[in-house]
Amino acid sequence: MNFNSRRGFIHRIIAGGVGLGLLPSTFLACSAEEKTGVNHLPVYKEVDICVLGGSCTGVFAAIRAARLGAQVAIVEKQNAFGGVATNALVNVWHSPYDTEFQKQIIAGLTLETMERLSQRNAVVVRDKSPSSYFSFNSQELKMELDELVVENEVHPFLHTLFSEPWLDQDGELAGVIVDNKSGRGIIKAKYFIDATGDGDLCVRLGLESYTRELLQPPTMCAHLEEWDLSEFEGILKEHGAEFNIPGGFAWGVTLPSAKTFMLAGTRVYGADCSQADELTKAEMEGRRQVRAIMDMMRKYSPQKKSALVALPSCIGVRETRHIKCLYQVSDDDAMNGKRFDDAIANGSYVLDLHHQDKPGITFKYLDGTEEYIKPGYPAEKGRWRPETPTNPTFYQVPLRSIIPPKHKNLMVAGRMLDAGSIAFSGIRVMVNMNQLGEAAGVTSYLALHQNQPIARVDCQEVRETLKKGGSLIL
């Protein structure tokens, strides 16, 4: 299914100045004087820091700020925390080591959470596996995140949808309007972390954002029984077209202490999931593709044993809009392992480009090699950089890339960070996003404690505080 015509239609409407509810042209913050009745809304909570978005990125931001002494609220639209790791069923976190497995580069709440899950036999560790170092039970992770939120006295708002920013008399961001089963109300805070994935708070404040023409496409995962991945790839190559299954990239792992297999084998082309209509269609198309995969296997698998046992509550979105921040991580920065004085995250995951304009995926490795892979076909190998005596073994993300230039009390944390397309293809994975969340939580706390704008917080103090809290700062 292709959404390019729909996207063009939406863009033409925006250009013509016609508002359609949640389109960017109408993302306007409101004050009590601007909208009738807003000043009569109940205040659900007043806190120091409000985190919008309850993925692991958002939860880790909230926990790090709370552990330092801040009063924190976290707002999540679904019924559980964890985002892609839980609600989208993506139960793999990548290696916490550099590409040569000589140096540990990630610790903090990523390792703390995995250690907690290990006490319940809910995680498997694969030493020296770059792409599936940790595989875990997503349902166990939901409950572990609940416990972390409660233990650290973070105030949770589940089933709560962010609607729009709320500004004070001076035009400063002072709260967020939310909707839940209790109705519409305001959560007031001194500082805010946008961990919505799509940068919803930032966009509705009118901050500058950008969306690439070729977004990395989303994937609908599934839990299956009696699944043979290699058999599936062979059948997909021969019969995928018959069932209108797009050529993409298939991978998956078996859940710890179970026989259930998590398959990521779908691809929805042309969908910008920051747009309501396209997100709806992407969810339905993703489920259609899962059913098509099952129908194909029922027809052509000699064993015919595979069974679908669970679908996620949301499609796995790789990329939508990005928020313009004080610095954009360039492709060269990531590909050449540039070191930053204000680095707050380290990553070694391969730069992988999920294509919109052709099947398969391209891996660009830090040693200068690359390969193009599509299911059922041999890899096409080459080099993107001539051989060199030494190669970088990890890349970094600077603090500046998650600080928007406007609104002194606002940060972003997650895949909406400011990064080039190739750089983003590696940075976007969860172990890296987890670190961005922790950095946002620490930075917001320091700004609160010092009563100053986010951008004026000393980056070295951020790094030192992260280190004291268990992060690896290099």
**Each residue's pLDDT tens digit, 437-447:** 999 999 999 99
Amino acid at 391: N
Whether pLDDT at 472 is above 60: yes
Tokens of 57: 């990125």
CA atoms within 13 A on the CB side of 209: 25
For residues 135-139, give the mean pLDDT: 98
Residue 304: its pLDDT value, please?
A: 83
Alpha helices in 301-362 (DSSP H): 331-335
Note the pLDDT of residue 428: 97
The whole-model pTM stands at 0.92
- pLDDT tens sequence across 306-357: 999 999 999 999 999 999 999 999 999 999 999 999 999 999 999 999 988 8
The angle formed by the CA atoms of residues 233, 236 and 238, to the nearest 5 degrees, is: 115
Q: How confident is the model at residue 248 (pLDDT cuts 50, 70, 90)?
A: confident
Quote the pLDDT of residue 130.
92
Structure tokens at 14: 């925006």
What's the pLDDT score for residue 317? 98
Phi, psi (degrees; rounded to nearest 5) at 26: -115, 15
Rounded mean pLDDT, 6-20: 37
Give the separation between CA 200 and CA 51, rounded to whole angstroms.
12
Per-residue pLDDT tens over the stretch 205-216? 999 999 999 999
> Does 190 have pLDDT greater than 80?
yes
pLDDT of 6 over the 70 cut = no
| pLDDT over 80 at 167, yes or no | yes
Tell me the mean pLDDT in the region 283-300.
Answer: 97
Mean pLDDT, rounded, for 161-180 = 96
pLDDT score, position 3: 44
Look at residues 464, 444, 440, 465 and name the one whose alpha carbon lies nearest to residue 454: 444
Report the pLDDT value the prediction gives residue 11, as an integer from 0 to 100. 39
Q: What is the pLDDT of residue 24?
A: 39
- Say how far apart CA 403 and CA 386 lie, in whole Å: 35
According to the model, what pLDDT value does residue 446 have?
Answer: 98
Of the candidates 163, 288, 297, the one whose C-alpha atom is nearest the C-alpha of residue 225 is 297
Mean pLDDT of 93-97: 98
Instruction: Quick: pLDDT tens for 103-126.
Output: 999 999 999 999 999 999 999 999
Hey, what are 256's tokens?
């710890």
Token pair 């239609």: residue: 9
Q: State the average pLDDT for the chain.
A: 92
Q: Does 420 score more than 50 pLDDT?
A: yes
Closest CA to 397 of 349, 433, 437, 345: 345
Query: How far is 369 from 359, CA to CA, in rounded Å?
Result: 20
- Residue 14 carries which side chain, given as an amino acid letter? I
* Strand 260-264 versus strand 209-210 pairing type: unpaired
Give yes or no for a contact between 205 and 172, defined as CB atoms under 8 angstroms apart. Answer: no
Q: Is the pLDDT of residue 128 over 70?
A: yes
- Of 152-161, 293-302, 354-363, 455-464, the range with the lowest mean pLDDT is 354-363
How many angstroms separate the CA atoms of 169 and 286, rounded? 45
Are the beta carbons of 179 and 161 closer than 8 angstroms?
yes
Averaged pLDDT, 255-268: 95
Tokens of 147: 């416990």
Give dist(CA 224, CA 208) in Å, integer.
Answer: 42
Give the mean pLDDT of 162-191: 97
Give the separation between CA 362 and CA 359, rounded to whole angstroms. 10
d(CA 432, CA 395): 10
417-439 per-residue burial string, b: 16 or more CB within 10 A, e: under 16: bbbbbbbbbbbbbbbbbbbbbbb
